[in-house]
Structure 1
Amino acid sequence: MLESLFTSSVTETLTIETTLSVIFAALLIGLFISMIYIKTRGKEGYSPGFTITLIMLPAIIAIIILLVGNNVARAFSLAGAFSLIRFRSAPGDPIDISYVFFALAVGLACGMGYILYGALFAIILCSVMVILNLTNYSKSKTNNMQLKITIPEDLDYQDCFNDILGDYTQSFKLLRVKTCDFGALFEIIYLLHLKKDINQKEFIDKLRCRNGNLSIVLNTEILDEKTYLV
């Protein structure tokens, strides 16, 4: 009895009942995924349009699978149609991308008729996401930051901030140096680990006095030396 619940409900001949059941099941699972996404990503912020996309995507993929079926000609036709569509967007958050693949997998399962498999997969993975969020598994316990300082060309960038950085950071590393404004200015980028309970404003004020009150940017979401702004 239990095994029969996990068999495909889609036959070679589509019916209205089968199609509607697959679409509504995909929409409901997509809604569940979207709600979990909102719950786990609420503190970091999220795009309202992306939450709607998570609802629609499983149903879209499911109906595509239903239409293609075992027909190779339809599959090539749909592939040609989708190749004409170009998606232009900024690189997304890795977690958002994983949710997109999550929704795609659920849509594929529903489209093939394995609705209960798709629901089971969604429940398990969403439970894992909730547990990871509650335990703050992905939260960085370090205080790594990126410091970007603009200095005049006559200031030696190699050692000019070492004393200040030594007082306010546990460690620091010079990542990159580049010229700007036709060589009149230097832009230097540090990866640093601030000490606990320091006054960031006081830290920046001392840097401003040293660099002649030019631009200073302190990015607080930098995790390693490969993650810096260009």
Structure 2
Amino acid sequence: MLNNFQTFSLDLTSSVGTSTINNSTFFICSVVSLLVGAAIAFSFCYKQGKSKSFATTLALLPVIVQVIIMLVNGNLGTGVAVAGAFSLVRFRSMPGNAKDILAIFLSMAVGLATGTNHLVLAALFTVIVIAGNIVYMILPLGESAENEKSLMITIPESLDYSEVFDDIFDKFTTKAKLEQVKTTNMGSLFKLRYDITLKKGVNEKAFIDELRVRNGNLEILVARKLPDMEKQL
């Protein structure tokens, strides 16, 4: 009985079903998942303004997915149940951009690969995606997210907000779209919200100064573009 207990205590990953996870395999796969996850987190978060929680998620998600895949390996019923549980998952934090979603899917794909013992594939796949990410960041495709702003500006009711700032926008921005108009101060003022993309190298203070001259030095706010910026109006 003592020998049986010692055998059980050593095989922490043994299963009561038909499949068994080997301890050495589990350890090696977990190490690879953690190393590749760390590489993904570094690649997508270094000097890109991402939070520590997001970086931690990218680093640890592969090993979590790996363990789930190992546990359901060979058991169709459990696999269907886990897939159903995944369908109920919702990200409760503020929505990220498309690149954040890419990083999360990459971490999950690595976990799937390591969970099925395709360790070399997981490493090569990660290297290829990270290299592609670096290449597309260098290429002059699209606009930099740093230049995408939300502009909130107050104007007197005497100004026609439909085209009052068109010449200024042409000078300082590549895109300026009026998203919301709101009256305030008993209808004597308008609050406007624009989604704008500043031209590369533009002087933001000079941009605001010209807006101040046009709107009579009323309130102006330029902020990083946020999905719920309209709630601040």
TM-score computed with the length of structure 1 as normaliser: 0.72
1:108 maps to a residue whose letter is L
Bigger mean CA offset, 17-26 vs 174-183: 174-183
Indicate conservation of the 8 Å contact 2:150/2:193, yes or no: yes
Root mean square deviation, CA, Å: 3.6
CA gap 1:141/1:96 in 2 versus in 1, 3 angstroms: closer
Instruction: Work out whether 1:98 is the aligned partner of 2:102.
Output: yes
User: Which residue pairs with 2:31 in the alignment?
Assistant: 24
User: Which residue pairs with 1:214 in the alignment?
Assistant: 218
Instruction: Work out whether 1:179 is the aligned partner of 2:186.
Output: no
Structure 2, unaligned runs of 5 or more:
1-17
CA gap 1:136/1:220 in 2 versus in 1, 3 angstroms: farther
CA gap 1:176/1:53 in 2 versus in 1, 3 angstroms: closer
Q: Give, in angstroms, the shift of residue 186 of structure 1.
A: 1.3
Once residues 13 and 80 of structure 1 are traced to their aligned partners in structure 2, the CA distance between those partners, rounded to angstroms, is: 23
Q: Give, in angstroms, the shift of residue 48 of structure 1.
A: 1.5
CA gap 1:87/1:165 in 2 versus in 1, 3 angstroms: closer
Q: Give, in angstroms, the shift of residue 13 of structure 1.
A: 3.1
Once residues 153 and 173 of structure 1 are traced to their aligned partners in structure 2, the CA distance between those partners, rounded to angstroms, is: 21
Higher relative contact order (CA 8 A, sep 6+): 1
Instruction: Work out whether 1:13 is the aligned partner of 2:20.
Output: yes
Q: Give, in angstroms, the shift of residue 194 of structure 1.
A: 6.3
Once residues 92 and 169 of structure 1 are traced to their aligned partners in structure 2, the CA distance between those partners, rounded to angstroms, is: 27
Instruction: Work out whether 1:33 is the aligned partner of 2:33.
Output: no
Deviation string, structure 1 residues 88-130 (Cα, Å, up to 9, x no partner): 1111122121111001001001101111111111121122223
What secondary structure is seen at the aligned counterpart in 1 of 2:152? strand
CA gap 1:85/1:132 in 2 versus in 1, 3 angstroms: closer
User: Which residue pairs with 1:74 in the alignment?
Assistant: 78
Once residues 96 and 84 of structure 1 are traced to their aligned partners in structure 2, the CA distance between those partners, rounded to angstroms, is: 20
Identical positions, percent: 37
User: Which residue pairs with 2:117 in the alignment?
Assistant: 113
User: Which residue pairs with 2:158 in the alignment?
Assistant: 154
1:48 maps to a residue whose letter is K
Bigger mean CA offset, 188-197 vs 60-69: 188-197
CA gap 1:86/1:210 in 2 versus in 1, 3 angstroms: closer
User: Which residue pairs with 1:89 in the alignment?
Assistant: 93
Indicate conservation of the 8 Å contact 1:146/1:228, yes or no: no
What secondary structure is seen at the aligned counterpart in 2 of 1:125? helix
Structure 1, unaligned runs of 5 or more:
1-10
